[in-house]
Amino acid sequence: ELDQNDISKLLSSALCLPMRYTHELAGLVHNKTRGNPFFVIQFLRSIIQNKMLSYSVQLCRWEWDCDVLDMQMISDEVAELLTTTFSQLPSALTKTLNIASCLGYQVEESTIMALNSMNEVLPFNMQEELQQAVTEGIMEKAGPIYQFTHGIIQQTIYKLLPTDYCKQLHKIIGMQLLRQSDPADNASIHLIAVDQINIYCKGTHLSDEERSQFA
């Protein structure tokens, strides 16, 4: 995550101002975003769109009012900003993030490869979309693991899913992983599959066919 000095350097470079001018603004941005790079970028976009950060022709530099900005958003309301942002993402990336959110805060590359097999879950390469999510700052990759850059991001994406659609996603993920895994060879993926099926079954009236499938 970014500290106040990192954000000040970013603002100094982007606004072509010495850091002594951007230090206070950086502190405010850090407090609002908790230093999360994705939140920082989205918050700055938001205040520019709302004309709270604007270029003054008279002063020949960017200007802002920290008191006004301080009232714009508090950290706990960042989900509202994320909701707007996610609605503007490309469809393929959105669908991939929906699936990732169903799997939790982080997901192993082997799980994505199993879901990607034969493109049965989605008609495109989810690994490519996850890499785009990394580029966007929504997710990060550490070794074989993809994870959301902040728990709030995963929670927000998951909560945005309509209930019925969400349950169907859990079923689709679970069934695909069951088809691609063998308990003896890959116990971890098999356990994920069972967990996804259990989430789908909870509170769902199962058909006879489904009872037979999940028995």
Write the CA distances from 48 to 41, 64, 116, 120, 139, integer angstroms.
11, 10, 38, 41, 24
Which has more pLDDT, 109 or 80?
Answer: 109
Which of 9-13, 65-69, 103-107, 208-212 is the least confident region? 208-212
- Both structure tokens of 32: 């609002």
Q: What does the pLDDT read at residue 155?
A: 87
pLDDT tens digits, 16-66: 999 999 999 999 888 878 788 888 887 888 888 888 889 899 888 999 988
Nearest C-alpha neighbor of 175 from the set 193, 160, 192: 193
Q: What does the pLDDT read at residue 19?
A: 93
pLDDT tens digits, 1-21: 789 999 999 999 999 999 999
Q: What does the pLDDT read at residue 6?
A: 93
**pTM for this structure?**
0.69
Which has more pLDDT, 164 or 123?
Answer: 164
Say whether pLDDT at 111 is over 80. Answer: yes
The mean pLDDT value for 133-141 works out to: 88
Say whether pLDDT at 76 is over 60. Answer: no
Say whether pLDDT at 72 is over 60. Answer: yes
Q: What does the pLDDT read at residue 94?
A: 93
Which has more pLDDT, 137 or 134?
Answer: 134
Whole-number Å distance between alpha carbons of 86 and 16:
30
Is 81 in contact with 73 (CB distance < 8 Å)? yes
Residue 49 DSSP class: H
pLDDT band at 207 (very low <50, low <70, confident <90, very high): confident
Q: Please, what is the Cα angle at 90 between 99 and 29, to 5 degrees?
A: 90
